[in-house]
Amino acid sequence: MPVKTTVFGYPKIGPQRELKKALEFYWNGKISQVELMEASENLILNNAKTIAKHGIDIIPSNEFSFYDFILDLSVMFNVIPERFREIENPLERYFAIARGTVDAPASEMTKWFNTNYHYIVPEIESNTEFEFIENKPLKEYELLKSSLNFKTKLVITGPFTYLYCAKVKNTEYFLDKIAFVYESLLDELEKNGVEEVQIDEPAMVLDLDKNIVNSIIDCYRKITANLSRMKIYVQTYYESLSAYEKLVYELPVSGIGFDFLEGIENLENISKFGFPKDKALIAGVVSGRDPWRTDFKEILKLIGTLTKFTEKIILSNSCPLIHLPVTIKNETFPKELSKILSFANERLEELTILKTVINEGKEPPVQDLSMKFVHPDVSEKVSQINQKALHRKPEFAERYKKQMEILKLPLFPTTTIGSFPQTTELRKARADYKAGRISLEEYENFINNEIKKAIEIQEKIGLDVLVHGEFERTDMVEFFAEKLQGFAITKNGWVQSYGSRCVRPPIIYGDVWRDKPLTLKETLYAQTLTKKPVKGILTGPVTILQWSYPRKDISKKEIAYQIALALNEEVMELEKAGIKIIQIDEPAFREGMPLKKAKVNQYFDWAIKSFRIVTHEVKPETQIHTHMCYSDFNDIIEKIYEMDADVISIEASRSKGEILKAFEKFRYDRGIGIGAYDIHSPRVPQVEEMIEIVERSIKLIDISLFWINPDCGLKTRGWKETIASLSNMVKVAKIIRREA
């Protein structure tokens, strides 16, 4: 039986970030809703044409989203927070849930499993009643059918994964409640001629107990009960399917998809338990997460093994292609690097090559995938790392007392996370410098003027610990990747993080080392402008690793240690130059955690150690901060504690202070700033709502250790709202000090 190919999760932002531009034009009133809809339809059609042009047999639909696919489901199923229901325009209401309004805070945003993609958390209460009110998937299906004559495979996130994303406690109860809306959706799709539906269930790779597994199977029996012709495929990814034997054999579906690259146990389970003859196996054999070219010989060997268990094989990507840029063809890498790289469009080509080789009995193309980008001193330094030398002395309480005496800070010190608004003028100056329209001297003078303005604004607002604003940084990871050796930077390698927010993940292709200062110049200049302390700010080793594409020839642990050693050199120079507070941001600390519990401790061993490599040599008087945001940190607070930072700032506003539950169980006796307001929304927070967060927090945290700050950097905000928000935040600190 000849194999076919399919894909899912193709990048929806467009090759030139068309989605980002359209969204921001719409939000700024530069285009109408009709024009935004036209832009979205063009993207949908062009993406489908691209996939078809590359020879993919089964083309997906319902993969476009204005913000994220979980929010799309919430709107479809009427899971709309009460505070937004009065907004009559459906699109405006949709964006209000994601971004907030003047009067209503946005819904919580968090990370999609162990990736840097974000989604809007559904607000499901015990009395929530699901209602099927809109069939968005059918609209896109019919658009592609009428415009291109494509009969597509419709893709939708499954009920179990949706409820997992909503963080509901009684999953079994809600699976029963939500089944009927999925049943209604699938029934309507079948009546309108849809023949194939892929239901994404990455949450099925988590550690599942017996009751949950039985509830999942019951839910699928209900949602497929009335179907007669439609084929349903369940797609899993990011790890190996849990409860393999029961789910594979008892789920009432036509096929199941596996990630054979990150879920290596999937092959072991198929070898041990076999695979049902009545189901198709969707084999995820080209990566959706890393940019390294597929090794055809290795993958053909894997496919050959799979054919021993089933003839019904459909080749696919291992996980959504949203984690990759659109194409490598717009890049200018050295030949020795280009030959081993592959982005989303190249993954389509690889699938077609694999299909052709298998179906026509051809030899695979000759490949040279060798990676030989090493620096002899780096691996030697990594091998010399001594576990015992990574503990700071003296213990925290003594260090912190000494630090606060030197810094002369008030109770409830105020600060920001690091970045300030990146204006149109700033982006233009950066573009002009890169294009050669202005000199390095002119560009640096512009940056210094921005730093000076930022310091003046912070002093006027009354903040206690200042930052230089990070105006020289395009992105908190890309900036360091540009200055460290061993990284490659793309020109057009954009990947969506959330909404219109896109990043360009650097590529770690060789050993990492530091050959020049990274942050010293701007930080020291800012400190000359004020008598208040200015924080030196670096991105931590785990986050640089997690938000880059790591090389494959050595372990993530070794890469993290290499980055940590380079950052340690920078920290020591900052300290030597007189910087008294140094912040090492680790927002991806939780994100890097494996999805399987059995692998968690091994990860935290090297993740914690990486942070300590950066900081362990500083003097007791130097205060070390770290920052984390938009992940669920409650269950790892003890691991965060082991990082031994003097102060941590952590998100709490969008999650309604959920992190505070962790402090009810674990006594966190180090400096901490609970994010007092959400920076990802354009609304200015009121004093009263920030006071509520602070007052809830200080019931659980020693007031002498408590800091007040926003929940994240301010790069994406405008100056007007930033000044108003920070001014209110300083008012909060003054009120709380009077009451303390």
> What amino acid positions are annotated as catalytic residues?
680
Q: 170 is written with which tokens?
A: 């009684």
- Residue 495, strand partner residues: 503
- What's at 560, amino acid-wise? A
Is the backbone peptide bond immediately before 394 cis, with ω within 30 degrees of 0? yes
Cβ–Cβ under 8 Å, residues 181 and 132:
yes
How many other C-beta atoms are found inside a 10 Å radius of the C-beta of residue 427?
11
Exposure string over 174-209, b if 16+ CB within 10 A, otherwise e? bbebbbebbbbbbbebbeeebebbbbbbbbbbbebe
Cβ–Cβ under 8 Å, residues 590 and 639:
no
Residue 100 backbone zone (phi > 0: left; psi -120 to 50: alpha; other: beta): left
Please identify which residue in the block is written with the tokens 């003047």: 102
- What's at 555, amino acid-wise? S
Q: Round to whole Å and give the CA distance between 94 and 98.
A: 7
Longest CA–CA span in the chain (Å) reads 79
Q: Round to whole Å and give the CA distance between 265 and 437.
A: 54
DSSP 627: E
136 exposed, middle or buried (CB, 10 Å; 0-12, 13-18, 19+)? middle
Helix (H) or strand (E) holding 601: helix 600-615
Q: What's the length of the chain? A: 740
Q: Is the dihedral of CA 713, 714, 717, 723 positive or negative?
A: positive
Alpha-carbon torsion, ordered 446, 451, 452, 456, to 10 deg: 140
What sections of 192-295 are H helices per DSSP? 210-224, 244-250, 265-273
Residue 63, CA distances (Å) to 287, 322, 522 in order: 18, 10, 42
Alpha-carbon torsion, ordered 4, 200, 108, 606, to 10 deg: -80
Interacting residues of 284 by C-beta distance below 8 A, sequence separation 6+:
237, 257, 258, 259, 260, 261, 263, 316, 317, 318, 319
Cβ–Cβ under 8 Å, residues 323 and 13:
no
User: Quick one: which of 34, 180, 121, 175 has its CA closest to 658?
Assistant: 121
